[in-house]
Chain A
Amino acid sequence: MNKTNPLYILLLFIVLFIVSIIKYNQNNTKLQEITLQYNQANQLAKQYNENNKIWNNKNISSDIKKLAKSLNISTIQITTKNKITTIRISSLSTYLINKFINKLLNKKWNINKLKITNNFIMVQISRL
């Protein structure tokens, strides 16, 4: 049986050590990349979720009803077709028109059409 030269063993472990350092560094860099990707994805997801709630609001009709109720507006007509909701309010005082528009514009909506005269409001809001 041949003896193994201790220097060969030392060399083997030095190589193993170098390989382990390289692997460690590679995985460390990979982890940093993955962490960065995750943080970006997380930020993107939160942004998406936040925006989705605003621009893809499924409760347009009930939200508008609440708004009208808070101003004691009863002459409201709401129709929803596909993703488009049309609100019509007639026989309104200029004061209530101003109030309603102010409150409406305090929240974000995807307004497609808007018509205001001295006693009538028509708003068309759509979901994205």
Chain B
Amino acid sequence: MSNIIFLQQNSQLNHTISKGINIILSCEFYWVRVFEIPVKSKKEALLVVPNMFEEFFDINGYEFYIIKQEDNKYLSFAYNPTLIKNELKKQNIPLKYINQIYFANNEFTNETIFKFNDIIYYYENNILVKVPTSLNINQDIKEIDLTNITLSKEYIILSSSSKYITTKTAYILSGLFLLFSLSFGIKTFLLIKEQNKILTLQDKLKNKYHLPNSIIQTKSILKQFNKASKKYNSLRDILAYTINIKQYTNAVLHSIEYNNQRLKLSYKKTTKDNIKKYISKKYKIESISQNNDIVKVEIKI
């Protein structure tokens, strides 16, 4: 089966499409004219062509294609993608299977007259026209065989994008999103690099400060250090307070003994009550006794 379909208005396909095909548009799907335009390039000519077609019909919704025939002479096509799409839909031809779309005008140049599906076409001044069925030509006309057609290089591609976003917009947006994605990709890469850098620094901390193997161990040892610090501060404070007793009473410190967080003090030239009064202002006394002139007091730190 040929992979070329000659698209005519109101015709019906007798098979379903499941692979890539090319479409040849019958002349009712496009306008064609030869324009003399005093420009050198197709690109420049394409800018002028819509205005020239505007004299013949309302160009709203139309797109244009041109072929340079000779200097300043352009074969120009105007086609309405929506009309073509509607017809394709009507004939159950999915847009996704269409590769290229050709204008019949460029594809049957070897013929002067031919017919397809009982519709007769012929070339008049190099422009393919459809013979009105009312003319009822009784000539024996060759039915065109699409399998033997070699397609030209002049084709259009129908955009399958929505009516809200044109192909161009879709590509521009795609480019922008790709750019943003790349930018975020680069930023993410830099973040990962920074993360690895910090993780390496964290590993180096262990060697630099001779830390224990785990954070839990470090925290546990720090707890011991804090405990020792508290113990030391308490001892310092209590010693400072008990040694300075002479400033408030006449007592003389005779001896100090500290062991197992218990502080034993002995004072001379004082009374049990004086010592008790002074020390109990700040610390809890465990025991206090007086033997002759020596007062012994025990405090738990």
A interface with B by C-beta (< 8 Å): 1-3, 5-7, 9-10, 12-14, 16-17, 19-21, 23-24, 27-28, 30-31, 34-35, 37-38, 41-42, 44-49, 51-52, 54-55, 101, 105, 108-118, 128
Contact = CB atoms under 8 A, between A and B. Distances in A.
Interface size class of B (residues with CB under 8 A): 35 or more
A37 B215 CA distance: 11
A16 B178 contact: yes
Nearest to B263: A114
B232 A109 contact: yes
A128 B177 CA distance: 61
B205 A42 contact: yes
A70 to B, nearest CB: 20
A24 B191 contact: yes
Contacts of A17: 177-178, 180-181, 184
Contact of B170 (A1, A10, A20, A118): A10
B83 interface: no
A54 B231 CA distance: 14
A31 B195 contact: yes
Contacts of B278: none
B279 interface: no
B98 interface: yes
B222 A47 contact: yes
B291 to A, nearest CB: 16
Given A7-B161, A16-B177, A117-B254, 19 more contacts: A2-B20, A6-B159, A9-B170, A10-B165, A13-B174, A13-B177, A19-B181, A20-B184, A21-B184, A23-B185, A31-B198, A38-B198, A45-B206, A48-B218, A48-B222, A48-B225, A55-B229, A105-B236, A105-B239
Contact of B225 (A10, A30, A51): A51
